[in-house]
Chains A and B, each alone.
Chain A
């Protein structure tokens, strides 16, 4: 592993493709798409949702085989029961969301100007629990993962549709973007080092996915059986570069999720999915 990482680091030090000066989120996103189209001329934009699977037919075949009859189907039914179980006051989760929770997940995260912070789908779930006198769920943990795996599946097929409007929202977006590009940990990598500058290259036996298309399919069942939320994945990635991870629902991770999800705008959502 050391040799491969040294090679990548040398490559990064020698200077890599710059994505150019960005005026705003939409310019950032378009520039980023152009960047990946140069690295992966044969991968269509809509297949960016498959990440490294789009780069490797053998891997994609395994994914397709799993998705035909996923190992997590019965776990997902637990999430369904959680979503449908009435609260003590008789109401259900569906009463907290427009359209009963169908085709809404693509609008998250959003920036709430009233409370001046990014609001994630998990925040909305907990807000619903609180408003109905129920105990909130711990962020990034298994119960929240199973519930949101089902709840977000009600938005399957919906395009990611995150909005950044107004100066406060833009500031949060910019904070997320800066975090994404900041080197971290003993290995001194930023998210950008791997997923933008080294996308398509290998770290040991893992091929690095492009950042566009990453945020559209969470939570995931790793190995088909272990539920991981998006912010749970942020923690894992930070540990991988030997950095101390932040907490789920921290301001840093919420802003990061805001930025990252915006960058997947226009891509269809699917939850949950199998990953290695």
Chain B
């Protein structure tokens, strides 16, 4: 059973939230994807709760997760972040922005040769820790770095 599916089934006990998710259009039943969208993790306001709901609770700090991100974001709406896990047996990776209204950004599961590497552009509401968590060999690991977000002057 893949990690996303496991996290979803664990949270699916909260039927009320599931119903709300459908009503607000956050989850479209019948989508041809393996696991349903992890509403509990994506809507959690607390970063630790988001991590736990996504299945990354109890993560150990690891310097083998490399995060490339700017010191000061040019524009908080588009912050380029690249994360690589050098931990052997990495099967999934998730990105969190601790001070965002909804800290969980995305969750990725690797298989059939995909490397534990993701490059993307994220939104940051304000200066915050950007955290990357990883599942490897059934255990959770994490690393983070701070990215500053400033509000312009005349940048337009």
A and B touch in their complex, CB below 8 angstroms: yes
Point out residues on A near B: beta carbons under 8 Å: 1, 4, 58-59, 61-63, 65-66, 71, 194, 202-206, 222-225, 228, 233, 236-237, 240, 275-276
Q: In the complex, which residues 137-156 of chain B have their Cβ closer than 8 Å to any Cβ of chain A?
A: 150-156
B58 at the interface (CB under 8 A from A): no
Residue from the list A202, A203, A223 in contact with B75, Cβ < 8 A: A223
CB-based contact B153/A202 at 8 Å: yes
B156 touches A62 (CB 8 A): no
Contact of B80 with A by CB under 8 A: yes
A225 to B55, CA, bound (A): 34
Question: Closest chain A residue to B148 by CB distance?
Answer: A205
Contact call B75/A58, Cβ cutoff below 8 A: no
Contact (Cβ within 8 A) B156 A236: yes
| B78 touching A206, Cβ below 8 Å | no
Q: Does B101 contact A (CB under 8 A)?
A: no
In the complex formed, the residue of B with least CB distance to A56 is B72
Residue of A nearest to B153 (CB): A204
Question: A237 → chain B, closest Cβ, in Å?
Answer: 7
Q: Is B75 a contact partner of A205 (Cβ separation < 8 A)?
A: no
Closest partner residue, chain A, to B149 (CB atom)? A205
Interface extent on B, as a size class?
10 to 19
The reply to whether A276 and B74 contact each other, CB–CB distance below 8 Å, is yes
Shortest distance between the CB of B72 and any CB in chain A (Å) = 6
Whether A63 touches B74, Cβ cut-off 8 Å, given contacts A202-B153, A204-B151, A206-B153, is: yes
Residue in A61, A237, A276 whose beta carbon sits within 8 Å of that of B152 in the complex: A276
Chain A residues in 8 Å Cβ range of B89: none
Give 20 pairs: A residue, B residue, CB < 8 Å, sorted on A: A1-B153, A58-B71, A59-B74, A62-B73, A62-B80, A63-B74, A71-B121, A203-B153, A204-B152, A205-B72, A206-B153, A206-B155, A222-B75, A222-B155, A224-B78, A228-B156, A233-B156, A275-B156, A276-B74, A276-B75
Contacts of A222 in B (CB 8 A): 75, 155-156
For residue A88, give the distance in angstroms from its CB to the closest CB of chain B.
37
B78–A71 touching, CB < 8 Å: yes
Is chain B's binding surface mostly helix, strand, loop or mixed? loop
Q: How far is the CB of B67 from chain A (nearest CB, A)?
A: 14
5 tightest A-B contacts by CB?
A204-B153, A205-B150, A203-B153, A276-B74, A206-B153
Interface string of B70-111 (1 = CB under 8 A from A): 111111011110000000000000000000000000000000
Determine the chain B residues whose CB is within 8 A of the CB of A204 once the complex forms: 150-154
Query: Is A223 a contact of B154 with CB atoms below 8 Å?
Result: no
- Output the least CB separation between B142 and chain A (Å): 24
B154 with A61: CB separation less than 8 A: no
Instruction: Find chain A residues with CB under 8 A from B80 CB.
Output: 62, 65-66
A38 to chain B, nearest CB (A): 24
How many whole Å from B98's CB to the nearest CB in chain A? 21
Question: CB within 8 A of B74: which of A4, A62, A194?
Answer: A62
Q: How far is the CA of A240 from the CA of B70 in the complex (A)?
A: 27
Residues of A within 8 A of B154 (CB): 194, 203-204, 206, 236-237, 240
User: Which chain B positions have C-beta within 8 A of A71?
Assistant: 78, 121
Nearest residue, chain B, Cβ from A226: B156
Residues of B within 8 A of A202 (CB): 153
A58-B70, A58-B72, A62-B70 as given contacts; A205 in contact with B152, CB under 8 Å? yes
CB pair A205 B153 closer than 8 Å: yes
